[in-house]
Amino acid sequence: MPTNRRQFLKSSAAAALAAGAYRGEAAAVKAGQDRREDSVFDALAQPRATTGYEPWLEIDGDALRHNAREITRAAGARPVMAVVKNNAYGLGIARVGRVLDAAPGVAAFAVVKPEEALALRAAGVRKPILLMALTDVETGSEMARNDVRLAAFTDDAHERLDAISAAAGRPVGVHLYVDSGMGRMGIRHDRALPWIEVLSRASNMRIEGIFTELAESDADEAQLARFDTLVAAAHERGIETGLRHAMSSHALFFRPAAALDAVRTGLVLYGAYPAGASGLGTLELRPAFRLRAGVVRVERIEAGDGVSYGRNYVADRPTWIATLPIGHADGYPRRAVDGAEVLIGDRLYPVIGAVSASHTIIEVGAEPSVGVGDSATLVGPDHAAILPNELAERADISVYDVLMHLSPTLRAAG
């Protein structure tokens, strides 16, 4: 069935997450599959216009590779499963996927949404992908046809995977998802054994792994002990459960016992530290992105003049101010106004007034040292004041939000 480009993009849910699609890269996802639904990003699939001032994201492939090597080193050379859910934590799943597909320590990818798995395949990623989600038969078989491993955790997993395998016309690779105390996903550890026995007898699936997630609490050791007990019981019954994995970024620093057979990290790959970990010296990470925008307005204001909604800032002396066309809708945190600074050239300028949806205002000072068109860096590796962890600290938000809230509409560079 012929489709024009417009219909193709409209019908391809993967286009939404194959960041490449609306960043001008080719979307190689197969068209014509039904059950594609419109994306809220649909409008972005249209040709884009830009002045060059709008915010953009620079991805540093060297930093991604460096961070992957650091993780491998800290994890005693265990294979790394790169968690690239949520558009690779905001950095762009197609770009990040391509870089890490070629990184030696990265053995596989893990995602949470089926379109993320398809976006990786569309970007040319060849390594194994694990979908850590519940899938229905139709999507599950599409995943299997794209060589995506599925997570099993529901009571009906046996029948479900059976149907998926039949629909896909091939055996399905499976990782058993165990709830050892997080209470979010997985089959409860205390009733998983008979369930595993049933799955292990199915001929149309291969159990390639078994995994759990830690609540990052003082009960982590107890969780790991439960997981270990379950795996040992399965082994006693002669059941091979494959790769054991439990280690996220937090555990990499704080729960060495979680290393098991593979590590499953997201945040650290992108060059940010979990809370409390940046001073430990366990890993030397480099932020793998810069969030930037061009100055669009420079003005002098007088003492008593206000800035932004509610006159949140009032000048106590004459000063120059500048406006950047980036705001919280682009992913720069609202609360950056509580002490964040922006780097232009080699100087830092405080954020004043408010971070509104599409604009951020900075105080330039007594001299007009910035001009329209200057490039500002709001987050990046270039100064301690704008590191992701430092911004999170100053804005009193989670560092995950500094990355995860980056808008998929940002222009890509680098």
Per-residue binder mask for ligand PLP (CB under 6 A), 260-299, x = binder:
----xxxx--------------------------------
Q: What is the contact mask toward ligand PLP in residues 368 to 407, using x (rule: CB under 6 A)?
A: ----------------------------------------
* Cα 311 from Cα 314, distance rounded (Å): 6
Q: Is 85 known to be catalytic?
A: yes
- What's the closest the beta carbon of residue 336 comes to ligand PLP, in angstroms? 22
The Cα 388–Cα 391 span in angstroms is: 5
Examine residue 83 and tell whether it contacts ligand PLP (CB under 6 A): yes
E strand segments, 136-204: 148-152, 172-179, 187-188
Nearer to ligand PLP, 115 or 213 (CB): 213
Of 92, 91, 56, nearest to 292 by C-alpha is: 56
Please list the alpha-helical segments (H only) found in 19-101: 61-74, 85-89, 93-101
Which amino acid is residue 265, in one-letter code?
T
Cα 291 to Cα 332: distance, rounded to the nearest angstrom: 8
244 binds ligand PLP (CB under 6 A): no
Question: Nearer Cβ to ligand PLP, position 85 or 244?
Answer: 85
Comparing every residue's Cβ against ligand PLP, the nearest one is 266
Q: Is 309 a catalytic residue?
A: yes
Nearest distance in Å: CB 356, ligand PLP: 29
Among 95, 149, 160, 250, contact with ligand PLP (rule: CB under 6 A): 250
Tokens coding 54: 């709008």
Total binding residues for ligand PLP by CB under 6 A?
11
Three-state SS annotation for 229-274: HHHHHHHHCCCCCCEEEEECHHHHHHCHHHHCCEEEECHHHHCCCC
132 binds ligand PLP, rule: CB under 6 A: yes
Binding track, positions 175-214, relative to ligand PLP; x by CB under 6 A: --------------------------------------x-
**18: contact with ligand PLP by CB under 6 A:** no
CA distance 118 to 120: 5
Q: List the catalytic residue out of 22, 85, 177, 349.
A: 85
- A 10 A CB-CB count for 396 gives 10
State the residues that interact with ligand PLP by CB under 6 A.
83, 85, 132, 213, 248-250, 264-267
What positions carry a catalytic annotation? 85, 309
